[in-house]
Amino acid sequence: MTRLPPILVVDDEENIRQYLKSLLTLKGFDVVLAQDGEEALQRLSEGATFSLIILDIMLPKMDGLEVLGRIRKIARQTPVIMLTGVGETGTIVKAMKLGASDYLTKPFEEEELDFAMNSVLEKNKLVQELKSLKTQLDVKRKEGYFLSVSDKMNKVKDIIEQVAPTDVTVLIRGESGVGKEIVSRSIHFNSLRAKKPFIKVNCAALPEELLESELFGFEKGAFTGAFKQKPGKFELANEGTIFLDEIAEMSPPLQAKLLQVLQDGEFSRLGGKRDIQVDVRVVAATNKDLELMVKEGRFREDLYYRLNVVSIYVPALRERKEEIPILCEYFLEKYNKKFNKNIAQVPENLMGLFMTHEWPGNVRELENMIKRIVVLEDQASVVAELNASINAARQAAAAASASAGAPVPAAPVPAVGVAVDGQGRPAGPQAISLKEITKKAALEAEKEIIQRVLNQTNWNRKKAAKILNISYKALLYKIKESGIVNGGR
C-alpha cells in the first residue's frame, strides 16, 4: 500500500504540537511540525508536499487566516483542517470561505479528530481520482470518446462498439447539435483505421462547385484559378475515415459521384483524365428526413441504401436530461482552463432551469451557455434567456391546446421562478418565492439524476457517488432525504 505524504501540524503551543504528533504517529502517519505560519510556508515554498495540514487560527506574527490564504496559492489542492477556540464563529466562516476543508474547536476529542481527518482525506482522494479520470477523459474525447449515463446514449455506445471494428458505411441521424460528429469520431477511433486520417467535410458549408473540388480535388487548369493540382478530401482520407456532415445538402450530380466512390472505390479529379483508387470508410450524418427526400426525388434512392447500411440515432438533449450535470461539469472545466477562470459549479437555481429547458439547440446550446457563464462570470443573462425561452414554449403549448379545443389560461404564462396567483398574475407577499421554486425544481432534478445513476450502477452506491462527484456519505444522506428506494419503487 502506498504511504501517504506526511501531515503538517502548525501550532505555536508546544504541548498541542507534541500531542498531535504522538497521536497521529500511533495511527501510522508521518508528522512534520511547525511552530508558526512562516515556518510552514517556508516548507511549502521549498517543495514539501503534505497529505493534510492541521493549522491553528491563533498564531503569532501571522494569523492562521493569512497563512491559509497563502497556502492556497502554493498548495491549492492540499486539505486544511483549522483549529479554533470557542466562540470564533465569524473566524470559522472566513476560514471556510478561504478554502479550509474542516475545523475543530479546542479542546477536541480524539474521535472528533479521526472523523474530520477521515472525511477530509477521503474527499481529497476522490477529488484526485476524479481529476485523473477527467484527464483520461480529455484524451479520449480528442479521439471521439463520449461520456454517457443515460439508457439511450448507452445504446448508441453499444452500437458504436459493434460497428466500429467493421468497415460498413454508417448513417448518423439526429437534430442539429446533438453530437453526431462525436459519434463519427468515436466510430473512427475505435476502428482498425484509428491511426489513419479522420477527415470531416460539411456538405452544407460550400456551394456545389466548391464542394466537388473539395471532395475530389482538381487538376491544374481545370478551371480559372486552378494554378496547380490539388488532392481532394477523399484522397487525404485514404485508408482512414471521411465524415460527410449534412449529407442531405449534397446536390444530385454530386450524389451520383459519391455513389460511384461507394460502389467502386474510385473517382476522378475535376479536369482529370484518369480514375483514382481509394480505400475510405464513409460515415455520413443528417438532421433531415432522408426517406421523405427520396420519396420527393430530392435524394437518390440508390445512394440512400448505400449510406444507410447501419443507422445510428442520436437522441436530443431533452430526451436525456440526466446527462446535463455531467456535461455542465465537463464544459465548465474545459472553458475554465481555456479562459483561465475559476467558476466552480452551476448554482442550483440555474441547474433547475437547465433541467426544465427543452434545449432546441441541444448539447451545442448548453456548451455555448456554459462558455458565456465562464467568460462573462455572470449568470443573470443566462437565467433571463432561459426564463424567456421556457415561457415562450409554454405559451406556444397553451396556444396549441387552445386551437385543439382545450382550455387555455386567461393570462400569459409567467417565467419559471415567478410566483403567481390562481389567475396567472404575479402573487403577493404570501406567495412562494423565486428561491423556493428554483430550489424545489433543483431538488426534483437532483432526485431524478441520483435515481437514474443508481439504476445504471445496479445500486452500487460507491460507484454512483464517484459518477455524481459527491462523497459516499453525502449520497447516503441524499438517498434518505429524497426518499429514493432501490429500483425506484
Cα–Cα dist 432/421, whole Å: 10
Q: What is the pLDDT of residue 414?
A: 39
Cα–Cα dist 15/348, whole Å: 45
Work out the pLDDT band at 457, boundaries 50, 70, 90: confident
Mean pLDDT computed over 325-332: 89
Three cell numbers written together for 256 = 451520383
**Residue 94: its H or E element:** helix 89-97
Q: What is the pLDDT of residue 131?
A: 64
Specify the residue for cell string 428526413: 289
Mean pLDDT computed over 343-371: 90
Query: Is the pLDDT reported for residue 416 higher than 90?
Result: no
Task: Name residue 82's amino acid.
Answer: M
Mean pLDDT computed over 397-419: 53
Query: Is the pLDDT reported for residue 273 higher than 50?
Result: yes
| 239 within 8 A of 279, measured Cβ to Cβ | yes
Which of 91-95, 126-130, 465-469, 479-483 shows the lowest mean pLDDT across its residues? 126-130
**Residue 183: its H or E element:** helix 180-189
> What's the alpha-carbon Rg for the chain, to the nearest Å?
30
Q: What is the pLDDT of residue 233?
A: 95
**Residue 198: its H or E element:** strand 198-202
Query: Is the pLDDT reported for residue 385 higher than 50?
Result: yes
- Name the average pLDDT for the chain: 83
Query: Is the pLDDT reported for residue 411 higher than 50?
Result: no
pTM summary value: 0.56
281-309 pLDDT per residue, tens:
999 999 999 999 999 999 999 999 999 99
Q: What percent of the chain has pLDDT over 70?
A: 85
Task: Name residue 404's amino acid.
Answer: A
189-201 pLDDT per residue, tens:
999 999 999 999 9
Cα–Cα dist 332/134, whole Å: 12
Q: What is the pLDDT of residue 434?
A: 43
Work out the pLDDT band at 470, boundaries 50, 70, 90: confident
Q: Per residue, what are the HEC states of 110-143?
A: HHHHHHHHHHHHHHHHHHHHHHHHHHHHHHHHHC
DSSP tag of 298 = S
5-35 pLDDT per residue, tens:
899 999 999 999 999 999 999 888 999 999 9
Cα angle 77-344-380, degrees, rounded to a multiple of 5: 160
Mean pLDDT computed over 394-414: 59
155-205 pLDDT per residue, tens:
999 999 999 999 999 999 999 999 999 999 999 999 999 999 999 999 999
| 38 within 8 A of 62, measured Cβ to Cβ | yes
